[in-house]
Chain A
Amino acid sequence: MITLRSAEFRRAREHAWLRLDEMVSLAERKGIGALSADEAQEIARLYRSASSSLSVARNIALDRNLILYLENLTLRAYLVVYGPRIGALQSLAVFFTGGFPKAVRKLVKHLAIVSAAMLIGLAAGYALVSADAENFSSLVPGSLAGGRGVNSTREELLSDELFAEWPGFVDTFVVFANSLFRHNAIVGVFSFGLGFALGVPTLLLVVYNGAVLGAFMALHAAKGLAVDFVGWIAIHGVTEILAILLCAAAGLSIAETVIFPGDLSRPASLALRGREAAGVAAGAVALFFIAGFIEGGFRQLIASTPGRYAFALATAALWALYFTRAGASDD
């Protein structure tokens, strides 16, 4: 009678494999939470023993079914053991109290570059519209201008825009805030995604955003409303422009990785740095959300320029504190 070594080997371990198979199937069906703490420990132990069984089987056995089964089982167990352990909400909480501000701190250089690009755009837009007011309509698309233009009078700007009446809770917090949020979030995510195109479109988008802002500034300055305008824009702009800059900086970091992958292969270094960059962009979407609420709601509630400056300064201080301090203790 022939009894193969590989058959002996299999007989001694088969129970453990089938037990592991059962637990992995349970975790696959109902999630890792379906396992008790003891079972979670057991699954990790059985996984390690199955993966060593696989190494041995590859060396001593020629049973194709056995090797394929062990490969499959080890892979499935590996995916359970090394799968994500926390849910969406918990991972978002971890992200906003640590991962996000930490990732932002690593992008200081990129933030400086995109801030410079925005300032250049701002100056250019301001200069162009100051020189010839007609430039406003060619610089700002109709959808953004919202009826404002060269022909707007000082009174119109004051009553319809800067100190327009508060249209009511639903219209501001639900309708207006949401549409602003969606629009801005898409712009931000776009400028991040365009980092793939070596960053040039990202920078162009930032310069253009700056130019539009500059054009508006010039328009209001010409009517002697510069101070009121800055208050009107800064109340949410602090948050919103910060978010745009964060997205762009993240896009730029992607571009940098694509151009200069360093010691790693391009995909490997992209995977390493891209994750952080995408995290920054995801966090920026949350900032857009907050900015949308401030712009849609609070801005018209605070109908005085000094009040708006105070609010803007307060948010600026808050963000500065958050991005420099949050998660810093475990750096």
Chain B
Amino acid sequence: MTDRAASHIDRVSELFGGTKRKRRVIESPEGVALTVGVATRGERLYAFLIDILLMFVIIFCLYALFIPLFFSRADIPVGMTLILFLVFIVRNLYFLHFELAWQGRTPGKRICGLRVINRYGGELSPSAVIARNLTREVEFFLPVSLFLSLGDHAGAAASLAALGWVLAIAALPLFNRDNLRAGDLIGGTMVISTPRRALSGDLSLTAQDAGREAVHSFTREQLAVYGAFELQVLEELLRSPPNRDSDRVLSGACDKIRLKIGWADEIPPGEVRRFLSDFYAAERDELERGQLFGRIRADKTAAPPTQPRN
């Protein structure tokens, strides 16, 4: 049943042109299935570039602190070594620190609304974070340093072969459905997108909030036409902010519903929202009641529930 509920929620998102984000289900330790949206490769690349930029800034600032120390000695090799050493320490501690302190988010991931989670639904352990970030050294920083040192030695062919291999590992996210990189495979992690959702008002109560009774009432036959999918499409329409476009869409939907359920009376333009809200509340009541008794109706094409006797 949960699957079915989730599936028409997805269908509604698709209908309204939300991102075609891949979804995975992980199970929390309490046994509740949680649907997560897999981060796209573009988002992850973007987050990574932000992180790289920030690391440059950090390294630059650290170095600027030490510059006076070395200008007095004019000791360039020492300065260079210090930079290299700082780069090594900063890039290794940066990801480790932020992913631990901010529950799986680096500044770049935070800006992009991404998070590292345990792919199998458990706790995100420090060892998993260490594992996924140590592998980054091999996946990214090593190919870069290899590429930069290419041509230094006679063994260019060997370097090229190594580079090819390492690039193949770097391209791993392109070849699996969860966009996992090698570090995710080793750490048992994945990166998901966690946008924040707000809780809007309950539409079945808006009529009452406005201090009035439902003015339209519907028969059970009329309510038996539609299923959960159509109900949730109607919900989306009713939740869209009122403007000329949405008014047009709503009156179109109103005409369709009237035709389908055989509602003879004309609905004046000013009454459309009220009619649809009443229909929504009645339909939701009907479908939820049916669901309590195990009569689940996914959409209008599903077999109609056996008619209850009055």
Listed residue (A3, A7, A190) with the most chain B CB atoms within 10 angstroms of its CB: A7
Indicate if the CB atoms of B81 and A178 lie closer than 8 Å.
yes
- Cβ-defined partner of B186 (8 Å) among A62, A68, A271: A271
- Whether A197 and B165, one on each chain, are in contact in the complex, defined by CB atoms closer than 8 angstroms, is yes
In the complex, per-residue mask of B239-263: 1 if CB is within 8 Å of any chain A CB, else 0? 1000000000000000000000000
Q: Is the CB of B28 within 8 A of A1?
A: no
Chain A at the B interface: mostly helix, strand, loop or mixed?
helix
Chain B hits for A201, CB < 8 A: 165
Given A6-B288, A79-B104, A274-B185, A189 contacting B84 (CB threshold 8 A): no
Total interface residues on A, using CB and 8 Å? Answer: 88
Inter-chain contact B185/A270, CB cutoff 8 Å: yes
Is A99 within 8 A of B32, CB to CB?
Answer: no
Q: Is chain B's interface secondary structure helix, strand, loop, or mixed overall?
A: helix
B185 touches A175 (CB 8 A): no
A294 CB–B CB distance under 8 Å: no
Query: Interface stretch among B56-64, B117-125, B301-309?
Result: B117-125
A322 to B259, CA, bound (A): 81
**Residues B188 and A274 in contact, CB atoms below 8 Å apart:** yes
Asked, given contacts A64-B235, A278-B186, whether A83 binds B126 with beta carbons under 8 Å apart, the answer is no
B167 CB to nearest A CB, Å: 13
Is the C-beta of B142 less than 8 angstroms from some C-beta in chain A? Answer: yes
A285 to B136, CA, bound (A): 14
Of A74, A79, A186, A189, the contact of B134 (CB 8 Å cutoff): A189
Chain A 186-217 against B: per-residue CB contact (8 Å), 1 yes, 0 no? 10011011101100010000000000000000
Is A84 in contact with B78, judged by CB distance below 8 angstroms? no
Mark out the residues of chain A between 233 and 278 whose CB falls within 8 Å of any chain B CB in the assembled complex.
Answer: 254, 267-268, 270-272, 274-278
| Beyond A63-B235, A69-B199, 16 extra complex contacts between A and B, CB < 8 Å | A31-B102, A51-B32, A54-B32, A62-B284, A72-B195, A79-B103, A91-B126, A91-B130, A178-B84, A178-B85, A182-B85, A190-B138, A190-B142, A193-B142, A194-B165, A274-B131
